[in-house]
Amino acid sequence: MRGWQRSDGRKGIRNTIVVAYLVECAHHVAREIVVPYRENDVHLIGFPGCYPNQYAYKIMSRLASHPNVGGVLLVSLGCESFDRRGLLEVARESGRPAETLVIQMEGGTRATVAQGRRIVERMRAELDAQVTVPMRTDELVVGTICGGSDATSGLTANPAMGRAFDRLIADGAACIFEETGELIGCERIMDDRALTPELGAEIVACVAKAARYYTTLGHGSFAPGNAEGGLTTQEEKSMGAYAKSGASPISGLLKPGDVPPAGGLYLLDVVPDGEVRFGFPNISDNAEIVELIACGAHVVLFSTGRGSVVGSAISPVIKVCANPETYRRLADDMDVDAGRILEGRGTLDAVGEEIYKLVLACGGGARTKSEAMGHQEFILTYKAFEPIGPSCLPLSAGGVRGAAHA
């Protein structure tokens, strides 16, 4: 693999420019700036809210300094509450070229779009002159998510991705699995896999928080589409989602925007802290992908049984299709046919190896199906989180549970 060296020591597998709107009122202008350059690694991201939110600021800060990002252009209306000066400073302190356009000061839509395109062209020329350096597997961060799950997801794609995770972790990579709301019932199994008893207790508590959150809202993570796809219970869905984590010890618990301190397996808690006040914990799969990327994920593995066509801004998304019939219908959108396991055309180990090699190929510049078709979805909304404590990252504090995980 090869990557672009960043000043914080990390390396990126892409050298993308992000154009970020800082309020919905600036969304159209930012999108118009990006349109001519969508196939030149210029991606649109943003936060639509006007009222300030610390979670959104943290996520945007992590994205503006993400290893896959080479340059940043912020687009502000001018009167929103987002801290545009602070975000610009974050980007510049990370060694990236970064500029801000304020629509109210630039003269409106046309003038801002024209100036934005001039800035993008200048940045693109600067980034295109940069050279890559060798990159090791232990410098990778990989996330995983499932969406559009059906009865095949937990039998093929999810456990195959778990096999790939185990391979990557053995090579020193950091791998992140998530959503605690889809792991209800698996907390004691994850407790047993945690490096320390303290970390295990944190995992149990965050799953209990997710259960309370969903109960308060009057719904769970089990959707009508899951039932239509043949899933029968929340427990069946949870075990299928859990299979994405593989069999490695759990090294830590993260919240959105927390970057793994070392290689290993990490659980991402995506359910807000405090009283329930934000509606659905995640309004779509893309919201979770953004949170994984904010944790430093260079690439995201996405398993689907019923079919999903989405990708993401900033980091490539590898689609692993669990259902052979779905793969045949949506082959143009899928990177891996895990459904062949059900038809005797492959094994979990073989598909896991294919996913592992595809991750490394992405690190070498290969484009995923969603990238090739221009998928650059992005969603960021309001949430609130408390900082994690030292027990959540035992590798940073030193010490592990003992011989059971040696």
In sequence order, what DSSP letters do the residues of 201-241 get, joined into one string?
Answer: HHHHHHHHHHHHHHHHHT--S--HHHHHTT---HHHHHHHH
What is the reported pTM?
Answer: 0.94
Residue 240's closest CA among 255, 221, 213? Answer: 221
51 C-beta neighbours (distance < 10 Å), count = 10
Angle in degrees, CA 139, 136, 141, rounded to 5: 30
Domain-ending residue, one of 108, 133, 158 = 133
Spatial neighbors of 118 by CB under 8 A, at least 6 apart, are: none
Say whether both 184 and 76 belong to one domain.
Answer: no
Say whether both 126 and 142 belong to one domain.
Answer: no
Say whether both 263 and 209 belong to one domain.
Answer: yes
**Residue 25 parent element (H or E):** none
Say whether both 191 and 168 belong to one domain.
Answer: yes
Q: In this structure, are residues 165 and 245 in contact, taking their beta carbons and an 8 Å threshold?
A: yes
Q: In this structure, are residues 72 and 96 in contact, taking their beta carbons and an 8 Å threshold?
A: yes
Spatial neighbors of 402 by CB under 8 A, at least 6 apart, are: none
What pLDDT, on the 0 to 100 scale, is given for residue 231? 55
Say whether both 19 and 165 belong to one domain.
Answer: no
What pLDDT, on the 0 to 100 scale, is given for residue 167? 98
Residue 259's closest CA among 20, 62, 30? Answer: 62
What pLDDT, on the 0 to 100 scale, is given for residue 302? 97
47: which 2 tokens? Answer: 């936060």
389: which 2 tokens? Answer: 């404590």
Say whether both 295 and 386 belong to one domain.
Answer: yes
Phi then psi for 350, rounded to 5 degrees?
A: -65, -45
Domain-ending residue, one of 112, 133, 154 = 133
Spatial neighbors of 403 by CB under 8 A, at least 6 apart, are: none
Say whether both 240 and 320 belong to one domain.
Answer: yes
64: which 2 tokens? Answer: 């503006």
Say whether both 198 and 268 belong to one domain.
Answer: yes
Q: Is residue 305 classed exposed, middle or buried when 0-12, 13-18 and 19+ CB atoms within 10 A define those classes? A: buried
Length of the chain: 406
Cα separation, 281 vs 101, whole angstroms: 32
What pLDDT, on the 0 to 100 scale, is given for residue 404? 32
Cα within 13 Å of Cα(132), Cβ side:
16
* Count of structural domains within the chain: 2
245 alpha carbon, distance to own chain's centre: 15
36 C-beta neighbours (distance < 10 Å), count = 12
Say whether both 122 and 145 belong to one domain.
Answer: no
Say whether both 263 and 400 belong to one domain.
Answer: yes
Show pLDDT as tens, one digit a residue, over the chain (406 residues): 999 999 999 999 999 999 999 999 999 999 999 999 989 999 999 999 999 999 999 999 999 999 999 999 999 999 999 999 999 999 999 999 999 999 999 999 999 999 999 999 999 999 999 999 999 999 999 999 998 888 898 999 999 999 999 999 999 999 999 988 889 889 999 999 999 999 999 999 999 999 999 889 887 665 555 656 665 556 656 667 889 999 999 999 999 999 999 999 999 999 999 999 887 777 789 999 999 999 999 999 999 999 999 999 999 999 999 999 999 999 999 999 999 999 999 999 999 999 999 999 999 999 999 999 999 999 999 999 999 999 999 988 554 444 333 2
CATH number at residue 36: 3.40.50.2300
Cα within 13 Å of Cα(116), Cβ side:
35
Domain-ending residue, one of 82, 106, 133 = 133
What pLDDT, on the 0 to 100 scale, is given for residue 363? 96
195: which 2 tokens? Answer: 């490096």
Bridge partners for 267 per DSSP: 177, 253
According to DSSP, residue 368 is labeled P
What's the distance, Cα to Cα, between the start and end of the chain in Å?
30
Domain that holds residue 250: 137-405
Say whether both 226 and 284 belong to one domain.
Answer: yes
Cα separation, 304 vs 307, whole angstroms: 5
What pLDDT, on the 0 to 100 scale, is given for residue 87? 98
Say whether both 85 and 213 belong to one domain.
Answer: no
What pLDDT, on the 0 to 100 scale, is given for residue 66? 98
308: which 2 tokens? Answer: 């999903």
